[in-house]
Structure 1
């Protein structure tokens, strides 16, 4: 109840302050009220209003160190570091044991990438603070900036020891364990934490995720069940439990868990997509496509939704519908490589080779340099009678895959076709040196070239 009274008082102060601004009738507020008002604006990202409140606050309380520290915070936010430093030096002379001065100095050093010195100052702040959890968290973040995950983890653990309700610290600890690939150690730590906090749904949830990463699905399932027992409104636990049940091929149970999340909150595209995938596995095609459609309606920018629909029709060999949905996806996001790859593949199946070539070309332009994309584009260009462009495309591929036999065999075939025998021989010998077995490419794609005596003689040299 105390918190509610404090919150109510803060709201009254803010209402009274904003009424003063509208009426332009200056009223007195004590320094604590100004602090609450400024914090309110800062937390809501209203920097200009926070600055005005600081200015008014200091005009009424010119000696308030806390208001000046809030001024420093705004200066640091605006990257006016020299002015912030000067003000902190003045405040240090007044209150050398004020931990917030050390914290703000550390904040400035952190912005200047001097993380080691920032940590030194934060360690000094520990000697003066009543809120060690907050300072340990800041030290942990500094170590994270330096990619020192072991020391970061240690300090976040100290933070959690000081405040076992600080779940952001718990998440950061697990982030460090994950980065270090210490899944077993993470489980051991979480179990120690759960011995003291047996109904912490966040910890059970994280235990489940660790077991999931280790592919120990039954143990993961048990952990997510405990998370749900601890908080039966915990949507994340139901989602993760659904993923585990999918791995165990218990698709109906997975659907049930995903459906619970839809009842607890607004529908999420992830849950709708997974329900669709489960129905597809169960052979419920109509329900699968219904949920894929709901997925893209809920979040048109989610590429996994459009890809699920497209791949569904691809597997059914219904290329017209697959193309229809791929075109819809491209109209929404024309920069998505995954859409263009499918566009090319579908058009290839439909023998629309000009459109297929456009898809491969677009995928390459967007940075998809997979060898299959280069090779498919080359083969499509050849089908379209554009041998020179096909050769140019393969030479671009050579820059990324200089030792790929498939590229060189294709170049050999194309050069022989345009009767540039010198370059044809160079590339066939290069390809044979790299991988003799791939000479079957010549037989499959360039049968007339393969049957040339001069080509057979070269191949026979490498048997």
Structure 2
């Protein structure tokens, strides 16, 4: 896996954004799973025992926005997102408040209506321009719509209004990294870490430093280790080891990977990176043992099987190399290097 993609993948594995990544997954997954239930008659659903009490109360007090909101939330909790939309809309019409707008927007995204969500967010931001959650959600909506430049513009507008909010710089940085604008991503994440130096923006920044072979990664990682209060040391050591490996400082790299493994013997990525160092040093038998251990602790990791195949290929064991290239390709259908290895072994 190329260096940049490796670190972006690691960033996604380490971090769960307050909105950008988590919301995107939830929106698409839930909207796909809600179709059958939401096609049922709304009237039948709302008169069922679970909702009957609130439905009766709404009939008695049709101007009470809280009742609509309570029923909408209950519907959402039970995967009735399409039916819930009318209640969110009614609650918003009766009482246009910030928290109702945000819940309504979430529902619109869940039922895959990002255009309506964007319209509501713009309307809400005109009323409450200082609300960071509204800015964040608008950036997320543009991202989900496949309009990253509009999302970037939104984050820029948010930063102009609240430059000391570390989250705007963080989320902008992650989006820029996904767009492969690495220098701009680093600049944004540096600003985020400057405003609020905490683990998750520090690790994101360190991962991009490592991906670009920037020696600042070592100083930053050491800083994160000194301040660690949540058990991120292994991830930091892994980043240091990867930087040392990519810059051919193999002794230091091995020290970092060995420490990672001693702290967590199931850390498959550390085994793989350690094995790659041994492979680069032409210690193929030793590398093979390490890759085999990686596959043992995580047998769904395609890189473990791929690198085992590389070792077998160098050692002249083409049949074993072919089997392991095939295993890697079966796990990751887009693993081009594994497919190339298969073709080589079949010649």
- TM-score, normalisation: structure 1: 0.55
Q: 317, 336, 351: which one pairs with 2:316?
A: 351
Where 1:291 maps in the other structure, the secondary structure is helix
Q: Which of these residues, 179, 202, 205, is aligned with residue 241 of structure 1?
A: 205
2:251 is the counterpart of 1:286 = yes
- Cα drift, residue 129 of structure 1: 3.9
Whether the aligned pair in 2 keeps the contact of 1:137 and 1:159 (CA below 8 Å) is: no
Q: Secondary structure at the match of 2:48?
A: helix
User: For structure 2, which runs of at least 5 residues remain unmatched after alignment?
Assistant: 1-44
- Return the alpha-carbon distance in structure 2 between the equivalents of residues 300 and 176 of structure 1: 40
Distance apart, 1:125 and its partner CA:
0.6
Residues 178-210 of structure 1, C-alpha deviation per residue, up to 9 Å, x if partnerless?
333433322322232223222111112223334
Q: How many residues are aligned here?
A: 300
Candidates 323, 337, 344, aligned match of 2:302: 337
Give the deviation of 1:351 after TM superposition.
2.8
Query: Is 1:258 aligned to 2:258, yes or no?
Result: no
Query: Kindly tell me: are residues 288 and 375 of structure 1, through their superposed partners in 2, closer, same or farther at Cα, counting changes over 3 Å?
Result: closer
Alignment partner of 1:275 out of 233, 236, 240: 240
Q: Summarize the Cα distance change of 1:101–1:178 in structure 2 as closer, same or farther, 3 Å threshold.
A: same
**Of the candidates 94, 102, 108, which is equivalent to residue 68 of structure 2?**
102
Shift of 1:170: 4.6
Residue in 2 that maps onto 1:82 = 48
Check 1:88–1:297 CA distance in 2 against 1; reply closer, same or farther (3 A cut): farther
The higher-RCO structure (CA 8 Å, 6+ apart) is 2
**1:8-47, Cα deviation, whole Å (9 max, x unpaired):** xxxxxxxxxxxxxxxxxxxxxxxxxxxxxxxxxxxxxxxx
User: Counterpart in 2 of 1:66?
Assistant: none
CA contact (8 A) 1:136 1:158 kept: no
Shift of 1:141: 1.6
- Tell me, in whole angstroms, the C-alpha distance in 2 between the residues paired with 1:117 and 1:341: 48
Q: CA RMSD in A?
A: 3.5
Question: Which residue of 2 is the match for residue 118 of structure 1?
Answer: 84
CA distance in structure 2 between the aligned counterparts of 1:200 and 1:146, rounded to whole angstroms:
30
1:144/1:241 CA distance change after superposition, 3 Å? same
CA distance in 2, matches of 1:281, 1:364: 25
Determine the structure 1 residue equivalent to 2:4.
Answer: none
For residues 145-173 of structure 1, the C-alpha deviation after alignment (integer angstroms, 9 at most, x for no partner) is: 23333333444556666484654x55443
Query: Does the CA contact (< 8 Å) of 1:268 and 1:298 recur in 2?
Result: no
Q: Which residue of 2 aligns with 1:313?
A: 278
Structure 1 residue runs of 5 or longer lacking an equivalent are 1-78, 381-409, 411-444, 446-463
Contact persistence 2:135–2:155 (CA under 8 A): no
State the distance in 1 between where 2:253 and 2:211 align: 18
Please say if residues 140 and 152 of structure 1, whose CA atoms lie closer than 8 Å, have aligned partners that are also in contact: yes
| Cα distance, 1:282 vs structure 2 | 3.2
Q: Structure 1 residues 330, 116: CA separation in 2 closer, same or farther (over 3 Å shift)?
A: closer
Tell me, yes or no, if the aligned pair for 1:337 and 1:368 is still in contact at 8 Å. Answer: no
Whole-Å Cα distance in 1 between the matches of residues 74 and 56 of structure 2?
16
Superposition map of 1:313-462 within 5 A: 313-353=278-318, 355-360=320-325, 362-363=327-328, 366=331, 368=333
The equivalent residue for 2:192 is: 227
Whole-Å separation in 2 of the counterparts to 1:306 and 1:172: 39
How far 1:376 moved relative to its partner?
A: 5.2
Kindly state the Cα deviation for residue 212 of structure 1 after the two structures are TM-superposed.
3.7
CA contact (8 A) 1:133 1:158 kept: no
* Inter-partner Cα distance in structure 2 for 1:331 and 1:204: 39
Q: Secondary structure at the match of 1:335?
A: coil
Find the counterpart in structure 2 of residue 39 from structure 1.
Answer: none
d(CA) in 1 for partners of 2:112, 2:130: 25
Q: Deviations over 1:424-452 (max 9, x none)?
A: xxxxxxxxxxxxxxxxxxxxx5xxxxxxx
Q: Secondary structure at the match of 1:340?
A: helix
- 1:141 is matched with 106
Using the alignment, how far apart are the partners of 2:185 and 2:334 within structure 1?
37
1:175 partnered with 2:140: yes
1:63-86 Cα deviation digits (max 9, x unpaired): xxxxxxxxxxxxxxxx99921221
Alpha-carbon distance in 2 for matches of 1:126, 1:242: 42
State the alpha-carbon separation in 2 of the partners of residues 350 and 157 from structure 1.
62
